[in-house]
Amino acid sequence: MYLMGYGPQLLAGTLETIQLAVLSLAVSLVLGLGAASCKLFAPSRLLRFSAAVYTTVIRGIPDLVLLLLIFFSLQLYLNDLTDALSLPYIDIEPFSAGVATLGFIYGAYFTETFRGAFMAVPRGQLEAGIAYGMSRWQVFSRVLFPQMMRHALPGLENNWLVLLKATALVSLIGLNDLVKVAQNAGNVTFHMFLFISITGLIYLALTTLSNSVFYFLNRRYSVGIKKAELW
């Protein structure tokens, strides 16, 4: 029997992990771009201060602590709200909680990646675009964004790989992801080493595939850039 009957469950857990990672990445990118823009371009001091507090607090607390804190505190506050309004009980299911929590956590790391990438683009090129008659959106989409992405890709790749591996933490709040399936299979069959090893190999395959994708993205955004020669 294929992996003692747990092959289909491992496949389903892998797909669950991929979905969790991709959706968390989308949330992180939106939060990261928004917070980085607030830090650099927001006219309001309150927005700049809020973005600074967000990145400082989130990056200073371990991911596992934040995951448990956000998951359980959200459920408690939601219970209090439904009780106060006499509404039916609402249960936050683990997948949605995992996406929101991981996206919120890693949005802080993406913020600093985007902020550094924005600052690496020479301001004179933006001023030249405006002087040429481009609108602010054209300057952003044609001048700032392509160059910013070239500087941001190494940091984005690193953050994505860390985020992908951090999906394993969500098994602690009940999500039936790859790690949770492997743990259950190991406990039932008494072959824990086998299933955890398979889990490690699957994560290694996913990170290797991710490296290949980022390799092509780096080539795409480095077109026309002359690389420095090493002596």
Contact 181, 6 (CB under 8 A): yes
Q: What is the CATH number of domain 16-221?
A: 1.10.3720.10
Who's near 155: CB < 8 A, 6+ residues apart? 112, 113, 116, 117
How deeply is 93 buried, as exposed, middle or buried, from its count of CB atoms within 10 A (0-12, 13-18, 19+)?
A: exposed
Tokens of 108: 């802080």
Question: What's the pLDDT at 199?
Answer: 92
State the DSSP code for 141: I
40-49, 82-91, 156-165, range with the lowest pLDDT: 82-91
* Position 221 confidence tier, pLDDT thresholds 50, 70, 90: confident
40 pLDDT higher than 50? yes
Which amino acid is residue 108, in one-letter code?
A
Distance (Å, rounded) from C-alpha 100 to C-alpha 102? 6
55 pLDDT higher than 60? yes
8 pLDDT higher than 80? yes
Distance (Å, rounded) from C-alpha 66 to C-alpha 162? 16
Question: What's the pLDDT at 42?
Answer: 83
**Per-domain residue ranges of the chain:** 16-221
Query: How large is the average pLDDT for residues 144-154?
Result: 84
Contact 166, 99 (CB under 8 A): no
The chain-wide mean pLDDT, for the chain, equals 86
Residues in the chain: 231
Of the CA atoms within 13 Å of residue 51, those in its CB half-sphere come to: 25
* Position 160 confidence tier, pLDDT thresholds 50, 70, 90: very high
Contact 66, 105 (CB under 8 A): yes
Query: How large is the average pLDDT for residues 146-159?
Result: 88
Question: What's the pLDDT at 230?
Answer: 46
223 pLDDT higher than 90? no
In the chain, which ranges are continuous DSSP H helix?
A: 7-41, 45-60, 63-84, 94-120, 123-131, 136-139, 145-166, 178-189, 192-221
More confident residue, 142 or 165: 165
Question: What's the pLDDT at 3?
Answer: 72
Query: How large is the average pLDDT for residues 183-207?
Result: 90
In 121-191, which ranges are continuous DSSP H helix?
A: 123-131, 136-139, 145-166, 178-189
Distance (Å, rounded) from C-alpha 160 to C-alpha 153? 10
Distance (Å, rounded) from C-alpha 81 to C-alpha 77? 6
